[in-house]
Structure 1
Amino acid sequence: MFRTALRNVLAHKARLLMTVLAVMLGVAFVAGTLVFTSTIQDAFQKSSEKGFSHVDVAIQPDDPDKDDKKNLGPAPNLTQKTLDEAAALPGAKSATGVVSGFAGLSDKDGDLVGDGWGTLGANYYAGPDGKGSDHRYPMKEGRAPANAGEIAIDHKTADRTGYEVGDTVATSLSGPVHQEKVVGVFTTDDGNVAAGGSLVLFDNDTAQKLFAEPGQYTEIQLRAAAGTTQQQLETAAEKILPPESKAVTGQKLADDQSKEIESQMSGMQTAMLAFAGIALFVGIFIIANTFTMLVAQRTKELALLRAVGASRRQVTRSVLIEATAVGVIAAVAGLAAGIGIAVGLRSLVGSLGEMPDGPLIISPTTIVTALVVGVVVTVLAAWLPARRAAKIPPVAAMGSMHAPATTRSLIVRNSIGAVLAGGGAALVIAASASGDNALMGLGAGLLLIGVFVLTPLLSRPLIAASAPVLRLFNVSGKLARQNAVRNPRRTAATASALMIGLTLITGLTVIASGVQNAIDKMASDAIKADYTISMANFEPLSPDVEEKLRSMDQVTSSTAYRFASTRLDGENETLMGVNGDTVSGLTQLDFTAGSWDGLGGGKKIVVDDDTAEDNGWKVGSDVAVTYQDGAKGTLSVGGIYKGNALMSGAMVDNRTLTPHLSKIEDMQVMVKTKDGASESVKESLEKGLGNNPAVLVQDKEDLSESIAQVISLMLNILYGLLAMAVIVAVLGVVNTLAMSVFERGQEIGMLRAIGLDRRGIKRMVRLESLVISLFGGVLGIGLGVFLGWSVGELIASAGLDAYSLVLPWGRMALFLALAAAVGVLAALWPARRAAKMNMLAAIKTE
């Protein structure tokens, strides 16, 4: 039986190749995901360890629980006194004062260098006397910066931008643009630079003025003397710690960064594996169809084996051995393809400058997972056809009298499908009303399974609806419709593969369209300002930016938004500072009670409805406030407004909030201009701010487009991932048509004999494929719209009140056209094969 099984594997090479391809694609996705994420994690982990190789212990500011703090501001920076004490610790070889923060660097085209989040600036610490060298940043060219107006840049940034020693470059910290002279190019193991960011070095005094205060550091790094461990040095450092600070070993810093990277990678890995699972799930239908076809071709052979003594178990085992052999081949091929995918992804990411160098990581776990997934999926899919083959009585099989399906079995299937689909739809509707994510996931899963089970029942009326169009093709069209509903189970399995992919694609598109529409609506409804100004990487803005804007002739009014940690009635709350005199003309909030009136007076506070409800506040309520510096006061609620995703929280006048801030920083500035929003006005504002690439000047349309770009990027990635499922679905349609052509060989021969030419045969097969694909497309788009609506209701209940259902008719038509294209392409080979049949040989086929 074992030899028979292996011989059968090789006897049907073409059809088994499609099964291998279906499994291989899914396995390749799984293996590629595991190899790629393991490679990224390893590269960043080694980069992290290398970046902390010069640090044995770090002393850092530490924010304790705000409830235990007298002051609510950030922990204070470290002083020169702490640095001197650290340098004198027993077991300390050296102590380096570190101060760092955001520092944008413009390239020669005026664009921001680096990825925005990784554009950093730091100090070159030349020792307490300023005459030494910083072991962290060895100079490759030139010298270290020694005075204001001088900088050094990392070698990767120098290579990318073409800057050389002696060039003058534009830098920006929190708004204003500065012209600096490059005096040196240095090498570094900094993980941020390895990942594609940039690093700019200033002399120690300049860096302290820019990122902290004179004489202050954001971190102190210690190196241990020979014979002193990191733990021993950490213990010694803890004795000199000032309040609100901590000592951490270099190994823990590296480990924490590695864990953070691993956590960031896990989300991407989970998403990619989910889509690999979808591709494999779709592949199950194809594998089941393939083995059903192979078993049908060998019905007499299996019956003969039964007649000469083979048991049912042996027949089943024979088919499963074939499936195992196919699974092993597909898994090995998928593993190889997955490694290729990982290499391609690494090269792509590396070319974008966002990944440190490192070897390709192919772990034993990845190899075992790929092999197990390929074999298990194939064997599971082949089990049902194998079981059916073993159940056929030998005499009936040899006489070609067996019937694979019964009316009773279809009734049972339809009953189960109706219960699952109805229950799933009910759960989805209940979840959209209650906001229960888990219930939504369960309902969507049951609904998909229920519709899949019901597809044989649904196929007849939906395919029958195509009759008026198919009549235009005369006999070929009529035969195509009849053939499509001849075996409803097989038609359903084929259509379901395409249905699942289009359900996900349509659902995601509907959700994205609704979210984008909600954002557009909120931007137009909540913001009256012509422009918002913010940093490109969402870092705080310098207050100089608003002062510069106010001085421009084009600007008629403005308000800066400042955030501070405070306590309101004893609860920790973020308080937002605004210009109480101008904010009403720059925003358009829906007040349920009160208004902006009196906010500019200094004793009023405006809050969103949720905050007011949580605290039991009404207009006129007195609110006890503890500011960031510990000062206390009382504010009166002057207005309560409906919060939204763009604007919410408690607001107070900046003149009330600013005196209590240790450092004044704005998150964004809103401005109104004389001539309204236009390209020329935008250019004048940008020019007035020094054409700073680190600062974004956006009107309402720009704001919506920036969010739309993020949504579009996510959608395009998802479309690319889901394309795997569509490719697998194409193979499924090819398989089904090939099976249909095989089963109808005698019938096709008779049609040719009575006058249907080869062109008519080809047209019949193509129309059958088109009908099946459109059936799956219609089901998928319908389900996708329903699930998109329900998830949208969930999003609306979670706080995005402006969300409403938006049907992207253009994209939905494109998806339906894609389903039709799948049908046309998938029919090419089976149609050609059917047309080339020898009619006499086909008629004689038993």
Structure 2
Amino acid sequence: MLRTALRNVLAHKARLLMTTLAVLLGVAFVSGTLVFTSTISSAYQKSAEEGLTHVDVAIRPDNDAEAAGPGAAADLGQELLDQVAALPGADSAIGEASGFAALAGKDGKLVGGGFDSRGGNYFTGQNGSGEDTRYPMSEGRAPERTGEIALDARTAERTGYAVGDTVRISVNGPVREETVTGIFTTDDGNVAAGGTLVLFDNATAQSLYTAPGAYDQITVEAAGGTSQQQLKDAITALLPADAEAITGQQLADDQAEMINSQMSAMRTGLLAFAGIALFVGIFIIANTFTMLVAQRTKELALLRAVGASRRQVTRSVLIEALFVGLVAAVSGLLAGVGIAAGLRGLMNAFELTVPDGPLVITAATVIASLVVGVGVTMLAAYLPARRAAKIPPVAAMSSVHAAATTRGLLVRNTIGSILAAIGGVLVVAGINQDDQGATMGLGAAVLVVGVFVLTPLLSRPVIAAASPLLRIGGISGKLARLNAVRNPRRTAATASALMIGLTLITGMTVIAGSVQKAIDKLAAEAITADYVVSTANFSPMDPEIAGTLSERSDVTAVSALRASPAYLAGTTKDEYLTGVDGDSIADLINLPFEEGSFDGLADGNAVVDTTTAEKHGWALGDTIGLTYADNATGELTISGLYEANEMIRGIILDNDTLTPHMQRVQDIQVMLSTTGGVSDAAKSALEEALGNNPAILVQDQQDISEDIAFIFTLMLNILYGLLAMAVVVAILGVINTLAMSVFERQQEIGMLRAIGLDRRGIKRMVRLESVVIALFGGVLGIGLGVFFGWAVGEMIRTGMDTYELVLPWGRMAVFLGLAALVGVLAALWPARRAAKLNMLMAIKSE
């Protein structure tokens, strides 16, 4: 039986090749994902470990400490640094002050991605005459005074800056012109991943990021013979209540855990798409083996007649599946390694640089690839194998095995209807469930399975509806329709593979388009300002930006938005306050007030959203007691209650009331209106007034919408690319089905040729059959996708009032057209093969 199974595999090379490809693509996606994420994780961890080589203990503010008061803990002072450096177990101590620093390239544009642009201090020791071991200079010298900086070697190389050049930098708004005095090397993981690092002298960095004589972190290296824990214990005794000490090993472990967590989300997402491709592949494999078994009915029945047991027949089919699965798994693993290497190269091409490091192929990846490849194939082949074992020996005397009974179809349709109904009910019920979509996800899976079970029943009416279109093909079109409904189970299995991919693509398109419109509507309704000014990475800005804009004669209204934490009376949990210009804010934002208004905000009042007010039991005219970030206490009178939206909510008060209590006065963004309204000229004038700053964004409502649209479009395109894997697998399934259908109908095709149907007519018949099957899958997929998109949208609507369902009719028409194109492409080889059949040999075949 083993020799028989292997002979059968080798006897159907072309047919099984496409089945192998279907499994191979899924396995390649799985192994590629595992190799890629393992490689990235390893590279980042290695880079992080290198950056912590000389760190045995790190001291940082403890934002969770009860004594810290509202907001973040205070910076670490010079006195603490000196005390730590003087400990017997400390070899050296370095104070760090760092934050955002946007560097402009020679073209005036921001270098890096904004979020990866960092600045820090060059620490010269307690006496100010040492060298910072973190950043050895490869060229020039370290910065010594305001107006001087040093650049990391990678940034210098890609920008072309050299020692002596003048560069433009923005830290928190205003443009600074600095002279490059040195180029340094570093093990900083952010730099290794494509970020930029700019070093200032210690005093300048403190003035920019912390406060004179203060640091945001202190790192300590232990002296010989002192363990990290011993050093930590000695340091802990010196720490104030709002600071904490952490060993270098704990830092490394925390970073490794954070990296693994970040990679886990990516890994889970990519594996989900691999799972979809494999799920689609199951249909193709099951279809392939079902057809192979059907074609070998006589052979298998004869084996039973000469003494083979049912178990032996089942085993022979499963051995074929095992062989196919092994070949696909090994090939998929190798292809996955290539995919991982390609993904890393693609990231570098898009300047999403990752640290250098070898490809990491773990034993778990190899095992997972083999288990997935072999397991999926064996699972899909099990039912056809059992069906083969049930073939009675008497079937060897018959040319056709028994067709499915009416009772069997009735049972299948009943089960499918029940599953579809349960799935639909669960999806609808999941809209109002607070379980993060678990109920809806379960319902979606059950509904898809139910529709798959029902597809043989659905195929006849749907394909019948396409009859008017098929009439264009004449007799070939009529034959194509009859062939498509001749074996509804096969048609259903083939169409279902395409259905799953289009369901996901359509559903995500509906959701993305609806959310995009909701956000556009929200921005248009909430913001009446002409422009919103912010930094490239949305970090706080210097108040000088708002001051510069307010002095312009063409600016009619301007308001800086500020945020600061506070404790409400009787609580110790941060409640963030939003500061605005009380005299102009009503001209810049549009909030629907339930009671009161912005009037009187500048007189020590506040407006509160209705949700927050209801939570605390506040009403119009009530007084709110609170503790500000500087630990001063105060009271605010509620002068208005407004309806919150996704952009504006919470307690809003006048900047004149809030600013005196802020630890560091900074603006989140600045909103303004101009005399001429929105225009390219006005925008250019504002950008020029701010020094054509690479770190500052001047955006109108359209710019904000386009930014949001870009994010959604990018995500959607990535998802389209990932789901293309499932569509490719579905194409292989259509080719497989048509090829085997042609094989089964050799006599029929030969007879059609003999009675006058030419080669062109045969090709047209096969192509139209393929198009009908593909369109059937497309119609089901688009229908399910719209339903799932509606359901998810209803769940989103509970938290976004402006959400409304948007059906992308144009894109859905494109998807249906692509489904038809898939049918045309999939039919090329089978149609050519059918047309080349020798009519006399075909008529003689059994």
TM-score (norm 1): 0.98
Task: Provide the aligned length of Structure 1 versus Structure 2.
Answer: 842
Kindly indicate whether the alpha-carbon contact (under 8 Å) linking 2:793 and 2:805 is maintained by their aligned counterparts in 1. yes
Aligned counterpart in structure 1 of residue 176 of structure 2, from 172, 178, 195: 178
Partner of 1:763: 764
Kindly indicate whether the alpha-carbon contact (under 8 Å) linking 1:435 and 1:794 is maintained by their aligned counterparts in 2. no
Which whole-Å CA distance do the structure 2 matches of 1:608 and 1:658 have between them?
21
Kindly indicate whether the alpha-carbon contact (under 8 Å) linking 2:422 and 2:443 is maintained by their aligned counterparts in 1. yes
Which whole-Å CA distance do the structure 2 matches of 1:384 and 1:771 have between them?
27
Deviations 1:572-600 (A, max 9, x none): 31111111111111001111222112112
Partner of 2:444: 444
Which whole-Å CA distance do the structure 1 matches of 2:844 and 2:229 have between them?
87
Is residue 493 of structure 1 aligned with residue 464 of structure 2? no
Shift of 1:353: 4.8
Shift of 1:570: 3.4
Which whole-Å CA distance do the structure 2 matches of 1:810 and 1:371 have between them?
42
Kindly indicate whether the alpha-carbon contact (under 8 Å) linking 2:297 and 2:401 is maintained by their aligned counterparts in 1. no
Kindly indicate whether the alpha-carbon contact (under 8 Å) linking 2:576 and 2:651 is maintained by their aligned counterparts in 1. yes
How do 1:564-583 and structure 2 match up within 5 A?
564-571=564-571, 572=573, 573-583=575-585
Partner of 2:309: 311
Aligned counterpart in structure 1 of residue 159 of structure 2, from 155, 158, 161: 161
Which whole-Å CA distance do the structure 2 matches of 1:552 and 1:627 have between them?
33
Partner of 2:40: 40
Which whole-Å CA distance do the structure 1 matches of 2:17 and 2:140 have between them?
62
Which whole-Å CA distance do the structure 2 matches of 1:433 and 1:745 have between them?
55
Aligned counterpart in structure 1 of residue 131 of structure 2, from 130, 133, 137: 133
Partner of 2:386: 387
Partner of 1:708: 709
Which whole-Å CA distance do the structure 2 matches of 1:831 and 1:432 have between them?
46
Shift of 1:421: 0.9
Kindly indicate whether the alpha-carbon contact (under 8 Å) linking 1:92 and 1:233 is maintained by their aligned counterparts in 2. yes
Shift of 1:675: 0.5
Matched position secondary structure for 2:760: helix
Shift of 1:745: 1.2
Kindly indicate whether the alpha-carbon contact (under 8 Å) linking 1:535 and 1:541 is maintained by their aligned counterparts in 2. yes
Partner of 2:361: 362
Matched position secondary structure for 2:486: coil
Kindly indicate whether the alpha-carbon contact (under 8 Å) linking 2:433 and 2:439 is maintained by their aligned counterparts in 1. no
Q: Which runs of 5+ in 1 are unaligned?
A: none
Kindly indicate whether the alpha-carbon contact (under 8 Å) linking 1:299 and 1:398 is maintained by their aligned counterparts in 2. no
Amino acid at match of 1:357: D
Deviations 1:231-269 (A, max 9, x none): 111111112112311111112112211211111111111
Kindly indicate whether the alpha-carbon contact (under 8 Å) linking 2:485 and 2:491 is maintained by their aligned counterparts in 1. yes
Deviations 1:7-46 (A, max 9, x none): 1111100001001100000000000000000000000000
Which whole-Å CA distance do the structure 2 matches of 1:267 and 1:467 have between them?
47
Q: Which runs of 5+ in 2 are unaligned?
A: none
Amino acid at match of 2:482: Q
Kindly indicate whether the alpha-carbon contact (under 8 Å) linking 1:73 and 1:629 is maintained by their aligned counterparts in 2. no
Partner of 1:527: 527
Shift of 1:569: 4.4
Kindly indicate whether the alpha-carbon contact (under 8 Å) linking 1:70 and 1:630 is maintained by their aligned counterparts in 2. no
Deviates more, 1:163-172 or 1:588-597: 588-597
Amino acid at match of 1:398: M
Partner of 2:418: 419
Is residue 465 of structure 1 aligned with residue 456 of structure 2? no
Kindly indicate whether the alpha-carbon contact (under 8 Å) linking 2:68 and 2:242 is maintained by their aligned counterparts in 1. no
Which whole-Å CA distance do the structure 2 matches of 1:10 and 1:418 have between them?
40
Partner of 1:594: 596
Matched position secondary structure for 1:147: coil
Amino acid at match of 2:790: W
Deviations 1:379-406 (A, max 9, x none): 0111111111111111124312422411
Aligned counterpart in structure 2 of residue 253 of structure 1, from 245, 251, 269: 251
Partner of 1:59: 59
Deviates more, 1:718-727 or 1:416-425: 416-425
Which whole-Å CA distance do the structure 2 matches of 1:45 and 1:578 have between them?
43
Amino acid at match of 1:355: V
Partner of 2:563: 563
Which whole-Å CA distance do the structure 2 matches of 1:403 and 1:668 have between them?
74
Which whole-Å CA distance do the structure 2 matches of 1:356 and 1:404 have between them?
60
Partner of 1:617: 618
TM-score (norm 2): 0.98
Shift of 1:205: 1.2
- RMSD of equivalent CA atoms: 1.1
Partner of 1:666: 667
- Displaced runs of 4 or more, over 6 A: none
Shift of 1:349: 1.8
Amino acid at match of 1:540: P
Kindly indicate whether the alpha-carbon contact (under 8 Å) linking 1:90 and 1:236 is maintained by their aligned counterparts in 2. no
Shift of 1:70: 6.4
Matched position secondary structure for 1:485: helix
Partner of 2:397: 398
Kindly indicate whether the alpha-carbon contact (under 8 Å) linking 1:566 and 1:575 is maintained by their aligned counterparts in 2. yes
Kindly indicate whether the alpha-carbon contact (under 8 Å) linking 1:118 and 1:192 is maintained by their aligned counterparts in 2. yes
Is residue 478 of structure 1 aligned with residue 484 of structure 2? no
Partner of 1:241: 239
* % identity of equivalent residues: 66
Kindly indicate whether the alpha-carbon contact (under 8 Å) linking 2:169 and 2:175 is maintained by their aligned counterparts in 1. yes
Kindly indicate whether the alpha-carbon contact (under 8 Å) linking 1:566 and 1:626 is maintained by their aligned counterparts in 2. yes
Which whole-Å CA distance do the structure 2 matches of 1:634 and 1:409 have between them?
76
Amino acid at match of 1:312: R
Kindly indicate whether the alpha-carbon contact (under 8 Å) linking 2:297 and 2:395 is maintained by their aligned counterparts in 1. no
How do 1:527-546 and structure 2 match up within 5 A?
527-546=527-546
Which whole-Å CA distance do the structure 2 matches of 1:770 and 1:177 have between them?
61
Kindly indicate whether the alpha-carbon contact (under 8 Å) linking 1:73 and 1:662 is maintained by their aligned counterparts in 2. no
Amino acid at match of 1:675: G
Amino acid at match of 2:140: G
Shift of 1:781: 0.5
Partner of 2:88: 90
Partner of 2:143: 145
Kindly indicate whether the alpha-carbon contact (under 8 Å) linking 1:529 and 1:670 is maintained by their aligned counterparts in 2. yes
Deviates more, 1:349-358 or 1:694-703: 349-358
Amino acid at match of 1:214: P
Amino acid at match of 2:598: W
Which whole-Å CA distance do the structure 2 matches of 1:461 and 1:271 have between them?
37
Which whole-Å CA distance do the structure 2 matches of 1:439 and 1:681 have between them?
51
Is residue 699 of structure 1 aligned with residue 697 of structure 2? no
Shift of 1:435: 5.4
Shift of 1:457: 0.6
Kindly indicate whether the alpha-carbon contact (under 8 Å) linking 2:67 and 2:241 is maintained by their aligned counterparts in 1. no
Which whole-Å CA distance do the structure 1 matches of 2:144 and 2:745 have between them?
87
Deviations 1:269-289 (A, max 9, x none): 101000000000000111111
Amino acid at match of 2:489: R
Amino acid at match of 1:592: E
Partner of 2:775: 774
Shift of 1:145: 0.6
Deviates more, 1:420-429 or 1:399-408: 399-408
Which whole-Å CA distance do the structure 1 matches of 2:267 and 2:606 have between them?
45
Partner of 1:689: 690
Which whole-Å CA distance do the structure 2 matches of 1:431 and 1:479 have between them?
44
Partner of 2:652: 651
Which whole-Å CA distance do the structure 2 matches of 1:570 and 1:431 have between them?
38
Deviations 1:267-315 (A, max 9, x none): 1110100000000000011111111121122211111110110001100
